Structure 1
């Protein structure tokens, strides 16, 4: 959900574009400290900038709104102007607020945390601490076939499409459960809580379809190779109860 007015979206894109020009002579894309300094410049634009100093909006709420609770190295691709161009910023310390659909970045000088709307963001990636590999997040126009409200949602790409075949993506959603301890039908929960709402989808042929962590769901989502998928799942003794198993099946499907 956008956190700032549309006027600020333009200012964000403009701020990134102007900052890029300062580094264009030495690198194709700002990296590391240079990229973070762009954010420092952006933060000095005052109240009209599409950023804000991090606040304590989640204080007292149980659970985490973030995909990862720590800042990690990342890359952001930002829209540049209205001609379909973009700028890429590498080596920025990022954190993704999945509850608000917003990105946070650490300023190198002040160590302040800035939060900015993802409206002008085309894609971003985060270096995963467990694997050391980047996990890419991007929007999919096919998401509107599932729910129009998903058009601005970023999905983590678990298996990229190859040769136009199916892709596997994950929506790392977060939802808030309000305290409910008053009245005869209350649950007795005395605190607000943010919980994960993970959903998996296959993207193919201009549409997106939700799949669950079980054999029946993935086979029904890819009916043109259903018998081969069943045989593969059986031969590999896949329980289909984990994300890893789901990735294996989609990878096999892409090879057919």
Structure 2
């Protein structure tokens, strides 16, 4: 990948606005856009990238360009074309001229990304509390499943590169390097304790020992499937109400 550092010109398809919807333009907007850059003063423009030619799959959360809203401090970038590179942990932002810029997720408070195929919106956040489990997790964007005053549940999507393996006798006959998607759920409990959890009834009740009986009765009465993220969100919302 060839990267050169440039000043990021005001050429996003959307407009940069303040939280109060005050619009910025010209040089003032340009100066704010550069805050998302990889070196703190300018964004890196990705001109050409053939690192993964011949690799099965792709490093992105969604391979298609998706419309997104980016929150950074009191600034909001609206209607931006975005890809989230899970492998390199970088946001790629395409402007109206077709140039693709790299931005650091660590500088983003929240990313609202709409899947261009399913139209599902994913709310992705930088969860600083997860740094207690792994400092690198706090520098990534996680999908918000449930956020309450007592507990929070996040889905951390990642991609790893699985190398080809076809020569050894025990190989799986993988003839190509391949990107493999993985996801982990993290529950943040009172006191910002971070737990990597598998979605099951047993694990949810174990994580909420002080209200097990009430939560278990609610799960049974509502017939909630705790093998799903939506089931956990319902159960955690009930826990918050106790």
TM-score range, shorter-chain basis? 0.7 to 0.9
**Distance in 1 between the 2:236 and 2:183 partners?**
18
Which of 48, 51, 61 is equivalent to 1:57?
51
- Equivalent position of 1:168 in the other structure: 153
Shift of 1:139: 1.8
Q: Does 1:91 align with 2:79?
A: yes
Aligned match of 1:240: 226
Q: Distance in 2 between matches of 1:185 and 1:176?
A: 19
Q: 1:29·1:90 contact (CA, 8 Å) conserved in 2?
A: no
In structure 1, runs of 5+ residues without a counterpart are: 79-84
CA distance in 2, matches of 1:188, 1:23: 49
Count of aligned pairs between the two proteins: 227
Does structure 2 conserve the Cα–Cα contact (< 8 Å) formed by 1:54 and 1:114? no
In 1: Cα distance, 2:23 partner to 2:236 partner: 33
Greater share of helix? 1
**Deviation per CA, 1:192-244, whole angstroms, max 9, x where unpaired?**
11111111112232222122121011111121211122112222223322222
Would you say 1:72 and 2:59 are equivalent positions?
no
Supply the distance in 2 between the matched residues of 1:114 and 1:248 (Cα, whole angstroms). Answer: 38
Residues 185 and 197, structure 2, Cα contact 8 Å, conserved in 1: yes
Aligned to 1:210: 196
Q: Is contact 1:98–1:173 with CA below 8 Å preserved after alignment?
A: yes
Per-residue displacement from partner, 1:164-202 (whole Å, max 9, x unpaired)? 221111101111111111233433211111111111112
Quote the Cα distance in structure 2 between the aligned partners of 1:246 and 1:124. Answer: 22
TM-score of the aligned structures, taking structure 1 as reference length: 0.74
